[in-house]
Amino acid sequence: MDFKFSAEEEAFRDEVKGWLKTEIPQRWRELPTGLWQETEESWKISRQFQKKLGSKGWLAPAYPVELGGAGLGHIKRLILAEELVYHDAPISIEAEITVNWVGMALQHFGSEEQQKDYIPRIAKGDIIFCLGYSEPNAGSDLASLQTRATEQGDNYMINGQKIWCSYAHYADYCWLGAVTDPEAPKHRNMSMFVIDMKSPGITIRPLINVIGCHSFNEVFFDDVRVPKNGLVGQKNNGWFQLAMALDFERSGVGTAATNKLILDQMVKYARTNKRNGRLISEDPIMRSLMAEMAIEIEVARMLCYRIAWIYSKGGHSNYESSQAMVFGSELLRRISDAGMRVMGQYGQLAFGSSRAIGTAEMYRAYLASLSIGVGGGTNEIQRNIIAMRGLGLPRK
């Protein structure tokens, strides 16, 4: 099998690299940015940058042209994602949520009216979504959710609570799962909705994450009125829609590039700093550790490439997405831990410390990695999916 990209695809990669050299603001380089680490200032920069991408069709490169995308296909989408991540472009997880999770789901399940309304605005970067999945008593077992959507005339009334809603305090809309038939069995009792976050009855409370940033929220819905055209797809078929959206979430085609960026920062530090009188890069234990991480990154890359290939052929990744998520999330933990070992006590210094390394990337990556492998379904859940759907093993 030939794993090379075509000449056209390589030319596209060069085009992206050249564009990024001139378009990433210098101020972005000076800020502590990364997973779950947005500030008011970095949020504004990333939103402006995403709109620039949207104007080129690059925010949603695989979307059809008629829906605001560039129609580039999923291989070029992979290339673009790799370069954006590796060059630390101002792209937050919020863009991934809106474009590649919710937007892709709406293309599959949304009505013609919903697609014409939301998808072009998503592709341009004009609107953003948060997720209304987890609840205090329904995390990985999302089939146990209790938020209710009750029909009332031409509307649904939403009541309940959601938690860990990323960027709900910035979001324009919520992609929400709610029970629409409490008498039906699990997996057949829920529906998906698009809800305007400015609707009366919505209360947002911040949850400060381990890095000290406001990325997560708990959201309360008290008699929130949603027009019936806010229902996505068929009533009580929400579990299938949510499950497919989770496959999009877990696929993460830029995962390998994230880890490669961290490794390269680690290698650069090891080549230019000494410990006990010699360069860290000359320590055989540290060299072996970094080499092992480089090998694992290539494994992660192949898993990502497989997913992009499946989508490029008109397929849908299921257990393949779970494979990529398990390996990629656990690799991020291992590589962040390795980075802390290479950098030693300097790696423990937070941004703002006079002796912190750069913007304390390794310190922040280490803390951010703690939640990876939980969001989107725990890795235990992912292993069950791989066992049952990938290997055909029995449930018990």
- Catalytic center residues: 249
Nearest one of 320, 255, 273, 267 to 294, comparing CA atoms: 267
Which tokens in the block code for residue 363? 């310190």
Q: How far apart are the first and last CA of the chain?
A: 37
Which one-letter amino acid corresponds to residue 30? E
* Burial of 113: CB neighbours in 10 Å, binned 0-12, 13-18, 19+: exposed
**H, E, C per residue of 364-375:** HHHHHCCCCCCC
Contact 351, 277 (CB under 8 A): no
Q: Are 385 and 322 in contact (CB under 8 A)?
A: yes
Q: What angle (nearest 5°) sits at the alpha carbon of residue 156, between those of residues 152 and 158?
A: 120
Greatest distance between any 2 Cα atoms in the chain: 77
Strands 214-227 and 173-179: unpaired
Q: Residues near 291 by Cβ (< 8 Å), separated by ≥ 6?
A: none
Show Cβ contacts of residue 343 under 8 Å, excluding neighbours closer than 6 positions.
Answer: 266, 269, 357, 362
